[in-house]
């Protein structure tokens, strides 16, 4: 025990001896281990903080090498280059756009958000101009359209008049805005054309650019609401898929398409027809509205839309630019065995039927006259009265706006034993080119054997047309004929 005590004292008093184990030996190891652990921990923290950046750099490096490699190729679209899958506004009808299908381009335009936005702007502009016009009516026509007098002497707008009928609650009081002359009169300033009534929409994808102009967008929308009870969505769905249609036998030379459900017909317009239609459209809206509100008979085939389509596909190097009319198909839902396009003229109005099939073949006036010898068109007296009145009303209306060269389309429905009729091609006015055509054909240089040419002045055309239609359709007595004679109603 004593030795140990002394040894401890010696250790305390002799720090320089080599065999001694100082406290620093264990302390240094402990300190080194602590430093090592802390440095390792700090290193892990530093490497952990740098790890996302390193990963990000690694991903960028891989992508850059993959995209820059000569063998890399982007995934090709599985769809044909003529099909375009474009996104539409939520809640709208999904439309697949096809290059050669002009109906799909129109349908996509009408279901787009941009169209709805511009349509609201058109409505707002129309309401502003209408309010200003009502506060300062200067044109007799505008004053007449602005209000009507009821039996109690109170004024009622056209919208109120239609609503009171509970049958056609559609406001057409802004139709006169289509006529630039009326707008100039109402504003008192020449050159003031009023609000723009057309809408232009453009859309595109990686390969194709599309353009669609909707003529008289708000007016046609109201007209479709008036005469097409299924609604705007069904109209868009019908236009979403169209097929080419060749109407054999006719002489218009225009290209046609039909919707896949056979409800509407799309007809291409020429440059002259476009200008004629733009001038004629305001009168057309007024006439159809009046006929519907006053229950007047009319056989005009309804035009429910007009559009200008332009597209260019850089992948297939295809492009097109055309103007179109969308009309109702008179033979929708019917089984029509024979069709006739009648103008009331017998000059070059014969179709050779020996080498052609009857399906979709349109016969002309001379074909009908030959057929009437054995199978005349016999109709009942009341049908004859309504048909004659409707043709006279429509012909007077068309002649008053210098429209000519229209025709009566007739179809025979064998299943229902009915005859379907409608006046078509009524947008061509008597312009200078038609006047030249009338003069040249009247001389007999182009043949015709001295017969009156098909193209004549609007009034002469109306008289010939009404007289011929009256002779084509003969009425036969029925069991009610003659019962009203001598009765004063």
- Output the average pLDDT for the chain: 76
SS (H, E, C) the chain: CHHHHHHHHHHHHCCCCCCCCCHHHHHHHHHHHHHHHHHHHHHHHHHHHHHHHHHHHHHHHHHHHHHHCCCCCCCCCCCCCCEEECCCCCCCCCCEEECCCHHHHHHHHHCCHHHHHHHHHHHHHHHHHHHHHHHCCCCHHHHHHHCEECCCCCEECHHHHHHHCCCCCCCCCCHHHHCHHHHHHHHCCCCCCCCCCCEEEEEECCCEEEEEEECCHHHHHHHHHHHCCCCHHHHHHHHCCEEEECCECCCCCCCEEEECCCCEEEEEECHHHHHHHHHHHHHHHHHHHHHHHCCCCCCECCEEEEEEEEEEECCCCEEEEEEEEEEECCCCCCCEEEEEEECCCCCCCCCCCCCCCCCCEEECHHHHHHHHCCCCEEECHHHHHHHHHHHHHHHHHHHHCCECCCEEEEEEECCCCEEEEEEECCCCECCHHHHHHHHHHHHCCCCCCCCCCCCCCHHHHHHHHHHHHHHHEEECCCCCCCCCCCCCC
Distance CA 279, CA 285 (A): 12
Same domain, 222 and 99: yes
Same domain, 315 and 376: no
Residue 13 belongs to some domain of the structure: no
Same domain, 382 and 458: yes
The count of domains in the chain is: 2
Same domain, 397 and 454: yes
Overall average pLDDT of the 132-139 stretch: 64
Give 78's pLDDT tier (boundaries 50, 70, 90): confident
CB 298 within 8 A of CB 328: no
pTM comes to 0.73
pLDDT of 163 over the 50 cut: no
For the chain, what percent of residues have pLDDT higher than 90?
A: 40
Question: 190 lies in which domain range?
Answer: 81-329
Distance CA 304, CA 281 (A): 11
Same domain, 287 and 432: no
Among candidate residues 329, 347, 379, the one where a domain is terminated? 329
Overall average pLDDT of the 337-342 stretch: 92
Which pLDDT score is estimated for 255? Answer: 85
Same domain, 297 and 356: no
Same domain, 276 and 377: no
Residue 38 belongs to some domain of the structure: no
Residue 30 belongs to some domain of the structure: no
Same domain, 474 and 405: yes
Overall average pLDDT of the 33-60 stretch: 53
Which pLDDT score is estimated for 34? Answer: 42
Higher pLDDT, 231 or 254: 231
Residue 297 belongs to some domain of the structure: yes
Same domain, 271 and 172: yes
Among candidate residues 302, 329, 356, the one where a domain is terminated? 329
Overall average pLDDT of the 220-236 stretch: 91
Which pLDDT score is estimated for 373? Answer: 86
Which pLDDT score is estimated for 9? Answer: 44
Residue 427 belongs to some domain of the structure: yes
φ, ψ (nearest 5 deg) of residue 256: -125, 155
Same domain, 381 and 323: no
Same domain, 259 and 375: no
Same domain, 278 and 360: no
């Amino acid at each position: 025990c004593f030795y140990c005590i002394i040894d401890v004292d010696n250790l305390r008093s002799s720090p320089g001896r080599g065999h001694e184990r100082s406290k620093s030996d264990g302390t240094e190891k402990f300190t080194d281990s602590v430093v090592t652990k802390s440095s390792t921990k700090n290193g892990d923290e530093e490497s952990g903080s740098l790890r996302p950046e390193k990963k990000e750099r690694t991903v960028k490096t891989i992508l850059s090498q993959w995209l820059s490699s000569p063998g890399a190729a982007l995934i090709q679209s599985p769809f044909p280059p003529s099909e375009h899958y474009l996104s539409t506004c939520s809640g709208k009808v999904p439309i697949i756009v096809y290059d050669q299908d002009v109906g799909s381009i129109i349908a996509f335009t009408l279901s787009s958000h941009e169209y709805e936005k511009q349509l609201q702007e058109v409505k707002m502009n129309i309401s502003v101009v209408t309010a200003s016009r009502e506060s300062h009516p200067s044109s007799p026509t505008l004053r007449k359209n602005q209000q009507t007098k009821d039996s109690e002497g109170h004024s009622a707008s056209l919208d109120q008049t239609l609503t009171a009928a509970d049958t056609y609650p559609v406001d057409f009081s802004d139709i006169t805005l289509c006529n630039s002359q009326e707008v100039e009169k109402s504003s008192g300033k020449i050159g003031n054309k009023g609000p723009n009534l057309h809408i232009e929409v453009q859309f595109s994808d990686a390969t194709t650019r599309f353009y669609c102009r909707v003529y008289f967008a708000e007016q046609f929308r109201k007209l479709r609401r008036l005469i097409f009870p299924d609604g705007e969505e069904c109209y868009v769905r019908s236009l979403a898929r169209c097929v080419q249609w060749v109407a054999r036998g006719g002489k218009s030379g225009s290209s046609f398409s039909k919707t896949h459900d056979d409800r509407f017909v799309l007809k291409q317009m020429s440059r002259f027809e476009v200008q004629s239609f733009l001038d004629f459209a305001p009168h057309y809206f007024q006439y159809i509205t009046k006929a519907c509100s006053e229950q007047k008979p009319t056989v005009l085939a309804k035009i429910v839309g007009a559009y200008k389509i332009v597209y260019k596909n850089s992948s297939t190097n295809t492009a097109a630019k055309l103007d179109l009319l969308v009309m109702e198909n008179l033979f929708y839902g019917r089984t029509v065995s024979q069709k006739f396009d009648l103008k009331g003229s017998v000059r070059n109005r014969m179709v050779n039927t020996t080498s052609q099939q009857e399906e979709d073949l349109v016969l002309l006036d001379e074909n009908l006259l030959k057929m009437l010898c054995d199978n005349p068109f016999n109709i009942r007296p009341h049908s004859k009265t309504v048909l004659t009145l409707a043709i006279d009303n429509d012909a007077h209306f068309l002649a008053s706006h210098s429209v000519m060269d229209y025709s009566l389309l007739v179809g025979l429905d064998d299943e229902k034993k009915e005859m379907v009729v409608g006046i078509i091609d009524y947008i061509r006015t008597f312009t200078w080119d038609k006047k030249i055509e009338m003069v040249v054909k009247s001389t007999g240089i182009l043949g015709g054997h001295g017969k009156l040419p098909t193209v004549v002045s609007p009034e002469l055309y109306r008289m010939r047309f009404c007289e011929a239609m009256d002779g084509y359709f003969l009425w036969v007595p029925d069991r009610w004929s003659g019962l009203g004679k001598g009765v004063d109603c």
